[in-house]
Amino acid sequence: MAIPVIDFSKLNGAKRAQTMAQVANVCEEWGFFQLVNHGIPEELLERVKKVASECYKLEREENFKKSTPVKMLTELVEKKKKKKNESEEEERIENVDWEDVFTLFDHTEWAVNTPGFKETMVEYRAELKKLAEKVMEVMDENLGLPKGFIKKAFNGSGEAFFGTKVSHYPPCPHPELVNGLRAHTDAGGVILLFQDDKVGGLQILKDGQWIDVQPLPNAIVVNTGDQVEVLSNGRYKSVWHRVQANPNGNRRSIASFYNPSLKATIAPAPELMERAEQEKNHNSSSYPKFVFGDYMSVYTKQKFLPKEPRFQSVKAVCK
């Protein structure tokens, strides 16, 4: 089973209706899909790959070798050598990830010195932000909401947050003992990932099975976060995903998050609640109304736990 791939350029032609229906289906049934012909120049994507890889090599690799995950894995392997009983064999590291990561925000200084990195990533993030807004407009239309509804909801009384997480998952000598990235759903809105062309590891949970997100050169992987689930009144669910540690290859992963402003109030769209009420004749939504900043306070403590209690926790906070 493969993650659906959508040719985004067909939105502008004779196959628009068919493409809109494809997007609606993958948002409802998968929560993850890959976009090709998305409009971001391939020359720019090649530069992004180059500067990200050079940045890791020049500025990140040596520090990762001294990092907490590396130390913990080394200690666990040594411990297993000394104790060969079965209970010890089952032990693995569950509270850290085999990941080198830093984040780029708007209006902040990026502490990166790799030549060409800043200029390239500024250009890339601008292109990706435009793509995210196009994807959100498609979601608006498919949900029967006014154009710009999701963007307006994310802005609130300020400006939506757009951040980029630059990650590498270096080769792991014992991938059976540690996670690349623990399973979770994303807290925010719409996430656009530019992943490695060759080294896999990203998986999503679909119908009780973990499915690989196949590497596809210069595609952009899109997934919906918890806030889109709430705004869509559960039509577009956020999906559990994880990264498996890998003994071969250094997996590059550049994930950009189009999230609400911390002050934005998030709730199911009134139009969708009314529709649900008419169809079911009972309580139209199980999702609370809350301020995104309050949700993030809950999420940071419960990121790797089931998401439903997060909604209940933030409901209690906002009463």
pLDDT, tens only, 199-224? 999 999 999 999 999 999 999 999 99
Q: How far apart are CA 231 and CA 250, in angstroms?
A: 36
pTM: 0.93
Query: Hunting for tokens 């990203």 — which residue is that?
Result: 202
Establish if 285 belongs to a structural domain.
Answer: no
Q: What is the pLDDT of residue 126?
A: 97
Q: What is the pLDDT of residue 319?
A: 61
CATH code, domain carrying 82:
2.60.120.330
Establish if 282 belongs to a structural domain.
Answer: no
Which of 314, 149, 134 has its CA nearest to residue 231? Answer: 149
Give the pairing type, strands 220-224 and 190-195.
antiparallel
Cβ(222)–Cβ(35) below 8 Å? yes
Q: What is the pLDDT of residue 135?
A: 98
Q: What is the pLDDT of residues 303-318, one digit of tens each?
A: 999 888 888 888 777 6
Give the number of domains in the chain. Answer: 1
Establish if 308 belongs to a structural domain.
Answer: no
Q: What is the pLDDT of residue 86?
A: 52
Tell me which residue range forms the domain holding 194: 5-265
- Residue type (1 letter), 240: W
Which one-letter DSSP state was computed for residue 113?
-
Q: What is the pLDDT of residue 286?
A: 80
Stretches where the chain sits below pLDDT 70 are 84-89, 281-285, 318-319
Q: What is the pLDDT of residue 107?
A: 84
Strands across the sheet containing 209-212: 179-184, 241-244, 202-206, 209-212
In 67-186, which residue ranges form alpha helices assigned H by DSSP? 68-82, 86-90, 117-143, 149-155
Establish if 167 belongs to a structural domain.
Answer: yes
Establish if 71 belongs to a structural domain.
Answer: yes
Establish if 295 belongs to a structural domain.
Answer: no
Establish if 176 belongs to a structural domain.
Answer: yes
Element (H, E) at 64: helix 61-65
Establish if 275 belongs to a structural domain.
Answer: no
